[in-house]
Amino acid sequence: MKIERIEAIPYEIPYVRPLKFASGEVTAADHVLLRIHTDTGIMGVADIPPRPYTYGETQASIVAVINGIFAPALIGMDPFNRQSVQQTLRRTVHNNTAKGAVDIALWDAIGHATGASVWSLLGGYAPSMRVSHMLGFKEPKVLLEEAQRFGSEYGVTTFKLKVGRRPLALDIEACRVLREGLGEDVQIYLDANRGWTANEAIDVLRRTEGLGLAFLEEPCDAKEAMGRRRLVERSTIPIFGDESVPTAGDASRELLSGGCNGICIKTARTGFTESQEVLGLSTGLGVDVYMGNQIDTQIGTIATVVFGAAHEATSRRAGELSNFLDMADDLLAEPLVIRDGRIDVPEGPGVGATIDEDKLAHYRVDGA
């Protein structure tokens, strides 16, 4: 089996509710659908989320790097030769989500070629994954109402609260209102998206002590090295790396230098192959991990579920799997379902994402 053709299809689906956070805001899913065709008629699929404020990638740059660099280098290669593909991709620096999608699409093709689910090929640990819902910048009362709705409608009991605002009292009050309104049994953790300084993060943790927060993700820029190490040393809850650990090498650097003591894994940026490297590094060092969300569509969410449920360590914590509900539509032929706070692993071969061709034709923006 050889790679015969690669498609990078830009499309745009509006959001019903924009999501605001410290490093940016999204009002539409201006993503890229990747399809890798083989000479046997088998096709692998993945979704690519441009995040210029995190990785520097835009929809146009993703299409350009795939069509201009990756496709010419990969056509003719065997999808099963994943290490050779990885070495080919690594010749080009950055372009994290474009590389991650190529890897996921190749795993999808391998699954279809062997008749096996990628979930089982990766490890096949759990049949479903617990859901965490992400809460953006809103008034505390509105945040509480949204969290209570997700609890009652979907059974969600874990919430990520986006923080990183000034004055700090805005986020501190949101933490207090959520804890008082949701009770002790609901897990709440924070993500500042580098919005604070290390000293501000220390102040927030001091002023929210006793609220039972589970952990804090990306409190400040990792380049603020001395302050960040001091924060990690002083914090009574884990400090997780996300934007600062886009590759396995970055994760190694941050963990060993004391820049964080937990790792967020996102299949959108490390695919399945490098995500396994990050996971192995973390578990070998005794470091907690969880599955993050790159504000993914349902296609991207399926990839997160497949990887997260396949491994024991990533199944321990709820994964961020619900943000597709803020989108007006999706390209999936059969929508994902959150039931009792969980999403099931798709049945059948491959990753499990079947595209609705009519929807793709409607939302694509390349004029094809």
**Residue among 103, 187, 218, 266 flagged as catalytic:** 266
Q: Give this prediction's pTM.
A: 0.97
**Residue among 7, 108, 200, 242 flagged as catalytic:** 242
- Give pLDDT, residue 26: 83
- Give pLDDT, residue 190: 98
Verify whether residue 187 is a known catalytic residue: no
Verify whether residue 138 is a known catalytic residue: no
- Give pLDDT, residue 88: 98
Q: How many CB atoms lie within 10 A of CB 368?
A: 9
- Give pLDDT, residue 341: 98
SS (H, E, C) the chain: CCEEEEEEEEECEEEEEEEEECCEEEEEECCEEEEEEECCCCEEEEEECCCCCCCCCCHHHHHHHHHHHHHHHHCCCCCCCHHHHHHHHCCCCCCHHHHHHHHHHHHHHHHHHHCCEHHHHHCCCCCEEEEEEEECCCCHHHHHHHHHHHHHHHCCCEEEEECCCCCCHHHHHHHHHHHHHHCCCCEEEEECCCCCCHHHHHHHHHHCCCCCCCCEECCCCCCCHHHHHHHHHHCCCCEEECCCCCCHHHHHHHHHHCCCCEEEECHHHHCCHHHHHHHHHHHHCCCEEEECCCCCCHHHHHHHHHHHHHCHHHHCCCEECCHHHHECCCCECCCCCCECCEEECCCCCECCCCECHHHHHHHECCCC
- Give pLDDT, residue 53: 87
- Give pLDDT, residue 22: 74
**Residue among 7, 103, 171, 191 flagged as catalytic:** 191
Verify whether residue 148 is a known catalytic residue: no
**Residue among 108, 162, 171, 254 flagged as catalytic:** 162
**In the chain, which residues have pLDDT < 70?**
none
Verify whether residue 162 is a known catalytic residue: yes
Verify whether residue 99 is a known catalytic residue: no
**Residue among 171, 200, 217, 330 flagged as catalytic:** 217
